[in-house]
Each structure stands twice: as structure tokens, then as C-alpha cells.
Amino acid sequence: MNKILNLNQAIKKSEELRNQDKIVVLVGGIFDILHIGHILFLQEAKKLGDILIILLESDKTVKKLKGSDRPFNTQKDRAEILAVVSSTDVIIPLPYIEKDEEYDRVVISLKPDIIAVTKNDPDIIHKKRQAEILHAKIVEVVERLPYSTSKLAQLLKNDIA
């Protein structure tokens, strides 16, 4: 099965699985340089249900959030890397999204049972609101670990300089 799906394909897949009483878990992120913190987060999120769906941020969103020298890996490459991680089931490469309402439409259309987050997630208020709309659960699966793609990038930059 191809794990990389567009939103319409993922909505259909999510609906099919819910009709089979499967639990759908949703996470989102950038996943630019995959590290152990990402893997632990995805593994713990997967344990919460039957299918793990990842909303993967666009390259334009990454540039806006992290700076003009990011991402290191294109969205297509990041999706391919995530697809080989055993705990992932569906990866949805998102288009550039500017407004919270657009994220709401995406999340609501997928109808997850659980939205998994890290503790101290900076977007927790927004995600809690989405969960309320869906009558879904928010589950904090892991502490935000001291691993950071931004820190790795800085180390690499310093090493090269």
C-alpha cells in the first residue's frame, strides 16, 4: 500500500477504517531531518490506535516557520522518508496553509478519534479546539525531547563554517 496519499484519498481511507471500528490517530509536523525524538513520538502515537495519519507541512510553511534556508529536505523527500517508518500508515503532504480555519477543515474532514501531540506543544490550544469540534481526544504522548532539527541544523552549519 502506498502510504503517501492526497487529502481526498486519506479522507476515504479514514472513513473506511472508522467503518471497521478502527481508531484513527492524527499527528502533524515538519519532520525535516528525522531524528530519534520524531521516531519516539510516532511510535507512541501509533500505540494509541490502529492507523497513524501524518499531516506533513509544505516547504513554503517550513520556510515561513524556520527560515529561508529550510527545509533541508523537500516535502516529497520528507514524505518518502516517513513512509519507510514502520509506525506510519498515511502521510498527507499538505499544501501551503495560511489560516487556522484551513487546518480545521483538513482535520475535521479526516475525523480522527485522537490527535496526538507532544507535551508543551506550542499549538495545543488550536488542537484542543479541533478535538472539541470532533469529539476526539487530545493525547500528549511524549515530553518534548531535547532533540531538535533546528539544533542539528545549527550544529551542522557551525561544523561546516
What is the torsional sign of CA 4, 141, 57, 151?
negative
What does the pLDDT read at residue 136?
96
Q: Which amino acid is at 155?
A: L
What does the pLDDT read at residue 100?
86
Instruction: List, in order, residues 6 or more apart from 85 with CB less than 8 Å away.
Output: 34, 39, 42
What is the torsional sign of CA 121, 148, 33, 46?
negative
Whether residue 153 is predicted with pLDDT greater than 70 in this model: the reply is: no
Note the pLDDT tens digit of each residue in 13-59.
Answer: 999 999 999 999 999 999 998 888 899 999 999 999 999 999 999 99
Structural domain boundaries of the chain?
A: 7-160
Q: How far apart are CA 144 and CA 41, in angstroms?
A: 9
Question: What superfamily does domain 7-160 belong to in CATH?
Answer: HUPs (3.40.50.620)
**Cα separation values, 148 from 7, 11, 23, 125, Å:** 28, 31, 29, 22
Q: How far apart are CA 63 and CA 130, in angstroms?
A: 25
Note the pLDDT tens digit of each residue in 68-95.
Answer: 999 999 999 999 999 999 999 999 999 9
The C-alpha angle 66, 69, 75, rounded to 5 degrees, equals: 75
Polymer length in residues for the chain: 161
Specify the pTM.
0.89
What does the pLDDT read at residue 161?
53
